[in-house]
Amino acid sequence: MNALKSPLKIIALLLVNGLSVQLAAQCNCENSYPAPQGGEAIVYITPAQGVSGIQTAINNATSPTTIFLMNGTYNVSGGQINITKPNITLRSFSGKRDSVIIYGGGMLTGTGYHGISILNTNAKVIDLTIKNIDTHPIDINFWYQPGDIDNLVLHNLHIADGGEQLIKMSYSGNLNQNSHNGIIECCLIEYTTSLPGSAYYTNGIDLHYAENWLIQDNTIRNIQAGPGTTNDAGPAILFFKGGKNMIVERNLIIDCDEGIFLGNWADPAGFASTDSGIVRNNFIRGHANSRCGIGIVRSPNARILNNTIFSPGGTVWTAQKYSIEVTGPEDTNLVIQNNLMDETILNNQGTAPPFSDITNIDSASASNVIQASGINPDLHLTSTSVAIDAGTPHSLRNSDFDCGTVAGNADVGADEIPVTTGVLPGMIDGKKLNLFPNPATEFVTIYGFESDNVKINVTDLFGKTVLSAFEKVKDQKISFDIKTLPGGSYFVEIFDGTTTRKKTLLVQ
């Protein structure tokens, strides 16, 4: 299945082999979320005012309102935050999600119920941490008002440890109630500890009746059932109950029982559980007993394009190991194309009609990617990967996991090795300000500057600054010493006098 590899692609890959993005691609995550628009009401809340202060500000809103939360912890163990009014934005004033914490009383403890419940349209929740929650850290619920709940934005959130689904949009029972044009992006969604006992009723993102939603640039990890059950948890990302036209792209999914599912067998026969969904450019690495990376269930017109799936996979759930599951006679007009997998595609019990299986590579060994194992996998291609130039172009896929342009022959999987010459190491397809090497052990060089001096600020995953320096640019590059940094993942903020950009760095 491997086509002749382009020499230019091999040269480019050898220059950057080892580039590692340990959190999701930063295509939409480098810059701060835009400031409130003119005419919005602004309210500032401190931890001393607490959840009651937040709720009062929401209840008193009579026009579009941004509520800025000052750094600190806001305890919701006595009751959740209810966004009952339209056009409410709830965000941290500092812009640092780990500096403002919505904190509950523990998973499945019966304290506080949810973290934030979104009950009206045009809500935005930005730059916050929500964790240790009884049920759902983010609950989107139609019970408060009879209309649709549209235009929701969840941006740069750290959501951890909820007793049930970490982001949940519940079915209202009204087939005419939907949610349109939502976005979940740049979030870290995870379990940092296991669910209690035999609990397994959870997902990372679980959305009912969601139309035109975009799920992009998130890291989702450890969505697993509790230690006391033989059941598996639900998918890291799940759409069903009639969702349409969703796009799931550039997400990094690590060690989840199941990856991305369009549709659910619980929906009735003959019903389109989802319709016209696109799943593309995702990195998915399962654990030893994970079920599969992608599922298409009772979902016509789906497009599954250029995903990289390594589910080392056991046979706990089925006798056959597989990376992609196709289930149900409703799966008509399905295209599965250019996916790089270590296991096969399964037509579950032969229930699905024939589908387009185009230049997929299954049974791929781990040698095709930089690092398939460990807590920080890197599923970018190696220079010897059989995936290089082995794909077939598709009109719905013109960029890759790192937002690099797809040019020339298509590669298989979420990573595309660009055709490029005459670039410095660490520059890909003309993109500027790239780190090299990455992972790194002693020094990091950043290439592509046009200014004379830059400020470098390195933070850990909790937003704590661990290194800060002003550097003079020479030959369009700078280098700085990282030998004092412990191994792990970091953000590197680069300010060149006009623009701040953020890159991810792995220190080994």
pLDDT in tens, 68-78: 999 999 999 99
pLDDT > 60? residue 125: yes
* 277 in Cβ contact with 235 (< 8 Å): no
At residue 8, φ and ψ (nearest 5 deg) are -65, -35
pLDDT > 80? residue 315: no
pLDDT > 90? residue 358: yes
The C-alpha atoms of residue 271 and residue 144 are separated, in whole angstroms, by: 27
User: Taking Cα atoms as reference points, which of 260, 199, 207, 188 lies closest to residue 224?
Assistant: 199
* 337 in Cβ contact with 360 (< 8 Å): yes
At residue 50, φ and ψ (nearest 5 deg) are 65, -165
Per-residue tokens: 385: 């990967």
Distances (CA, A) of 340 to 89, 142, 323, 363, 404: 39, 39, 9, 9, 18
Strands 443-447 and 434-436: what pairing? antiparallel
Confidence tier at 150 by pLDDT (50, 70, 90): very high
Per-residue tokens: 45: 């809340």
The C-alpha atoms of residue 367 and residue 386 are separated, in whole angstroms, by: 10
Confidence tier at 161 by pLDDT (50, 70, 90): very high
Decide which of 436 and 92 is more confident. 92
Give the chain's domains with CATH numbers.
38-170 (no CATH), 199-427 (no CATH), 432-508 (2.60.40.1220)
At residue 21, φ and ψ (nearest 5 deg) are -110, 105
Per-residue tokens: 336: 């599965």
The C-alpha atoms of residue 75 and residue 45 are separated, in whole angstroms, by: 13
The C-alpha atoms of residue 311 and residue 255 are separated, in whole angstroms, by: 9
| Residue 353: cis peptide before it, omega within 30 degrees of 0 | no
pLDDT in tens, 13-45: 433 333 333 333 457 687 788 999 888 999 999
User: Taking Cα atoms as reference points, which of 283, 281, 241, 291 lies closest to residue 262?
Assistant: 241
The C-alpha atoms of residue 50 and residue 202 are separated, in whole angstroms, by: 28
pLDDT computed for residue 421 by the predictor: 39
pLDDT > 90? residue 391: yes
Is 57 in a helix, a strand, or coil?
helix
Mean pLDDT of 353-370: 94
Strands 124-126 and 88-92: what pairing? parallel
The C-alpha atoms of residue 420 and residue 78 are separated, in whole angstroms, by: 57
pLDDT computed for residue 348 by the predictor: 87
pLDDT computed for residue 18 by the predictor: 33
Mean pLDDT of 422-432: 36
The C-alpha atoms of residue 439 and residue 166 are separated, in whole angstroms, by: 30
User: Taking Cα atoms as reference points, which of 205, 104, 222, 200 lies closest to residue 154?
Assistant: 205
Calculate the dihedral angle through the C-alpha atoms of 280, 286, 290, 296, rounding to the nearest 10 degrees: 0
For residue 425, the tally of other CB atoms under 10 A from its CB is 13
pLDDT > 70? residue 284: yes
For residue 48, the tally of other CB atoms under 10 A from its CB is 8
The C-alpha atoms of residue 34 and residue 448 are separated, in whole angstroms, by: 26
Mean pLDDT of 256-280: 95
The Cα angle at residue 123 between residues 464 and 113, in degrees rounded to 5: 75
